[in-house]
Amino acid sequence: MLDLTKYQIWDLTIPYDKWMNGYDYDVAKTIARDGWNARTLHLYSHEGTHMDAPIHFGVGEATIDLFQPSELMGPAWLVEIPIHQPNQLLTVDDLGEIAAQFRAADSLLIRTDWSQFLGLDKYRNELPRISQPLAEWCVAKEVKMLGVEPPSVADVNNLDEVTIIHHILLKGNVIIIEGLINLGSIQKNKVFLIAMPLKIKGGDGAPARVVAFEEKS
């Protein structure tokens, strides 16, 4: 059995709240009226911390419910990339020494501290972007999951770019996680990552609870 006392467990998930454009709810039941509380949720499938399925960009027919649990967990490298300008391109060189240590089926978490802008216009409109060579590197290295802090791996205001980058990654079987937080709390550059999306039949994507297990010193 896994001894959880040996790990610091970090929650990398944005809490859903009513300020988010893609999330809302109606009160369905109340204690006073019905004897219990319940809500009807209205949720955009790519709001907050979420994962993309290949069908999101028409890359085959694979949907979010077809991901197997074994595909959604495993060792992950954490790399910190400082951001110096709006819409900065992230490159293979930015990975530094970690690039040489990668093994097939490892995952990659990119810390940019971009989550500090959550709720601001720049969070979406000036986000750091995965360059095409970096996306191709992820495919060549057989990266299992790629996790980023911005709401997208590419410029959401540039349809050509966002399509190309998603196509490269999704065709290459790289699972995309967007909208991460709390990466700055992790001290080591290697963790065990678990990312579990809602199992929505036919889903193009889904909210996910993402956690990292960091071994204590």
For the chain, which residues make up each domain, given as ranges?
4-215
| Cβ-contact 53, 205 below 8 angstroms | yes
| Cβ-contact 78, 191 below 8 angstroms | yes
201-206 mean pLDDT: 98
98-125 mean pLDDT: 97
Global pTM value? 0.96
pLDDT at 65 exceeding the cut of 90: yes
CATH 1.10.10.10 fits 4-215, yes or no: no
**What pLDDT, on a 0 to 100 scale, did the predictor assign at position 105?**
97
Long-range pairs of 122-127 with CB within 8 A, sequence gap ≥ 24: 122/86, 123/150, 123/151, 124/150, 124/151, 124/152, 124/156, 125/156, 125/157, 126/86, 126/87, 127/87, 127/151, 127/152, 127/155, 127/156
**What pLDDT, on a 0 to 100 scale, did the predictor assign at position 2?**
83
**What pLDDT, on a 0 to 100 scale, did the predictor assign at position 1?**
82
**What pLDDT, on a 0 to 100 scale, did the predictor assign at position 60?**
86
117-133 mean pLDDT: 98
140-159 pLDDT, tens digit per residue, is: 999 999 999 999 999 999 99
